[in-house]
Amino acid sequence: MKSFLLAVWEILEVVLVAVATVFLIRNFLMQPFLVSGASMEPNFNSGNYLIVDEVTYRLRPPERGEVVVFKYPDNPSVYYIKRVVGLPGEKVEIKNGSVYISNKANPNGFLLQEAYLPPGLETSGNISKPLNDNEYFVLGDNRNYSYDSRSWGKLDKKFIIGIARLRLLPINKVQAFSY
């Protein structure tokens, strides 16, 4: 009887350690994200299964060009994936199909070079948005079919969950992302 109880206790210990480990990793280090919709095509497609790094943005702020997963500000139970285009303290202007950024270092602004977009893709809208501290401007890569900062405005850093680091599915498109 005593050996049976010891065996049960050992199994319980293993299960508890496993559950605690999964809980800690899932809630503090990384979490899965399933892409839904066409707003990030051709770089991310609906059905892509991603791993989101939740640690990096505790150590440093998001950088331009990084793909972030965040809670939609108007409904935090909904998660979105978009690319960071404008950073805190900058002004984002969209005109003539292009994105321009101005900041203290470059008050006249510069044309944002977006090599991750398909050639010839234009960014619709006529927008001028200054960003305050902790505010970002995010856009989908599929500019014609993306509900992003052009529609609902600036993204406060408090809504950002993390950075897309790894695509696990589909298997033929497994990829680690470095920005």
- Going by pLDDT thresholds of 50, 70 and 90, the confidence category of residue 105 is confident
Which range is least confidently modeled, 21-25, 100-104, 134-138, 171-175? 21-25
Stated pTM of the model: 0.83
* Catalytic residue IDs: 39, 82
Q: Residue 4 pLDDT > 80, yes or no?
A: no
Which CATH number fits the domain that encloses residue 170?
2.10.109.10
Residues 87 and 133 sit within 8 Å (Cβ to Cβ): no
Q: Considering its fold, how many domains does the chain have in total? A: 1
- Tens digits of residue pLDDT in 108-137: 889 999 999 999 899 998 999 999 999 999
Residue 107's domain comprises 2-176
Q: Residue 22 pLDDT > 70, yes or no?
A: no
Amino acid (1-letter code) at residue 21: T
How confident is the prediction for the chain on average, in pLDDT? 89
Would you say the C-alpha torsion 168, 173, 175, 179 has a positive or negative sign?
negative
- Tens digits of residue pLDDT in 74-100: 999 999 999 999 999 999 999 999 999
